[in-house]
Amino acid sequence: MSLLQKQLKLDLGESEAIVLANSIDADLIIIDERKARRIAKDIGLNATGTLGILVEAKQHGLVKELKPLLDKLIKDEIRIIKKLYQDILGQ
């Protein structure tokens, strides 16, 4: 377990992704865990999650509808809180 992982109580993959993104001065890190995204943003990284990518794709006309994609994620056991689900569909 890395020092960052111990200190922040993140999964190994999340902590390593943050360290790597920071070390290579990445333009964006895509990470789904809310706590990990907040930590990434706190150290100056531009961070988003899968849902943010889907919303951005919709805004750019790359995706026609978000509901089928969100429903598929939920079916595949990706947890999306009801309010966030509703907020995304309300955009």
Query: What number is the average pLDDT over the span 44-62?
Result: 96
Q: Where are the beta strands (DSSP E) in 4-54?
A: 29-30, 47-48
pLDDT band at 74 (very low <50, low <70, confident <90, very high): very high
> What token pair was written down for 54?
């889907």
Q: Per-residue pLDDT for 72 more than 60? A: yes
Dihedral sign for Cα 10, 15, 21, 22, please: positive
Q: How far is CA 64 from CA 13, 30, 50, 52, 68, in A?
A: 32, 22, 16, 15, 10
Query: What number is the average pLDDT over the span 64-91?
Result: 93
Mean pLDDT for all residues in the chain: 90
Q: Per-residue pLDDT for 12 more than 60? A: yes
d(CA 5, CA 1): 6
